[in-house]
Amino acid sequence: MKKGFTLLEMLAVIVVISILSLIILPNITGQFADKKEEISKVSQKIILSAAELYANETGNTYQTITINDLVEAGKLEQPIIDQKTGKEIPLTKEISIDASGNACIVGIDGCGKITYKQYKNGEIVYFNPVKGKKCGDYNETNSTTGTNSGCMKWYAFNDNDKSSTVNVILDHNTTTGVIYNSTGNNSEMKEVKTRLENGTKDWNNDLNPRLIEANEIAKITGHPTFDASKENQEWFYLDSNNQTQTASSTNKSTYAWLFDYTDGCTNYGCNKTDLITRGYWTSTPNKSNASEVWVVTNCSNLSVNAVVVNGISTIGVRPVITISKSKLS
């Protein structure tokens, strides 16, 4: 008859099995963990590839976006599962894209959010719109009425530190006087639109040249009630937000960078002299009169001007462009 295992033999087997478990199980667990980590990294690569494709196609670099931005842009499908945790990756998860279009996931491998400089109203930017690049010191010969190429002087306005782009307005008109629309109706920028397009046709495609809006001027000056989308809005001096001028030769206009006339230092401020034009058009019609449009005048005010003045006008075109802050860093 066969004998069974003795107690001592069974204890010995248990000890051996325990030792083997201590050796083998961590390796197996580690292999599973490594496999999950590997799959998780694949998910990361998919996200980063989508972000870099998004940046390449849209030109939206030097910013922090979210998974949701990629989903809305059609670059990723929802839900996106982190295979390491088995949980869905939140749509709020952030991805930073640098100026070269390279992406990283915030919080992974030291990746941090991209922060943006906030430009003050009137802060000077030197930029060549044809080359689409930041340029050197301001050259006075490139700041005369009618100039639309080369290194030119621009002024930032209404910026915030959460935006990857900044709007800037040129410091001079690219055209001499041009009527707004020869049909006499402010609903269409016929002549102005043509002159704007012709004057900026050689500029970099992603700058989106346009005219400034009347409400943007009101925001720059901190006007508390002006709203050009409503009727019966009154004109105002930029420095006082009413019809009383406060700037003088000793109290210079804070907003001289928004207009051109000085003839020395007058009560209109101290900016460069430009007697060729008497202001520039905004893109905003006067809701109270179908034959008028809001303009920034050379007397430091926002007021209305007739769309057609006997077929002539002294109001010019001053472009606004949108620049990626990555191009200015």
* Tens of pLDDT, residues 192-207: 999 999 999 999 988 9
Amino acid identity of residue 175, one-letter, is T
Give pTM, 2 decimals: 0.74
**38 falls in which pLDDT band (50, 70, 90)?**
very low
**Two tokens at 298?**
């050379």
- The answer to whether residue 31 scores a pLDDT higher than 90 is no
Do 176 and 288 meet the contact criterion of CB atoms below 8 Å apart?
no
In the chain, what percentage of residues exceed pLDDT 70?
80
- The answer to whether residue 142 scores a pLDDT higher than 50 is yes
Checking DSSP bridges between strand 165-170 and strand 63-66, what pairing results, if any? Answer: unpaired
- The answer to whether residue 228 scores a pLDDT higher than 90 is yes
Distance CA 204, CA 161 (A): 24
- Residue whose C-alpha is closest to residue 213's, from 139, 297, 296: 296
- Per-residue model confidence (pLDDT) at position 10: 64
DSSP string, 156-200: E-S--TT-SEEEEEESS-SSS---S-TTS-TT--HHHHHHHHHHH
- Per-residue model confidence (pLDDT) at position 32: 44
Distance CA 151, CA 240 (A): 33
Helix (H) or strand (E) holding 88: strand 87-88
Lowest mean pLDDT among 7-16, 35-44, 94-103, 240-249: 35-44
Burial of 32: CB neighbours in 10 Å, binned 0-12, 13-18, 19+: exposed
Beta bridge partners of 186: none
**Residue 127 zone, left/alpha/beta (φ > 0; ψ -120 to 50; rest):** beta
Distance CA 261, CA 267 (A): 10
Residue with tokens 């707004």: 180
**257 falls in which pLDDT band (50, 70, 90)?**
confident
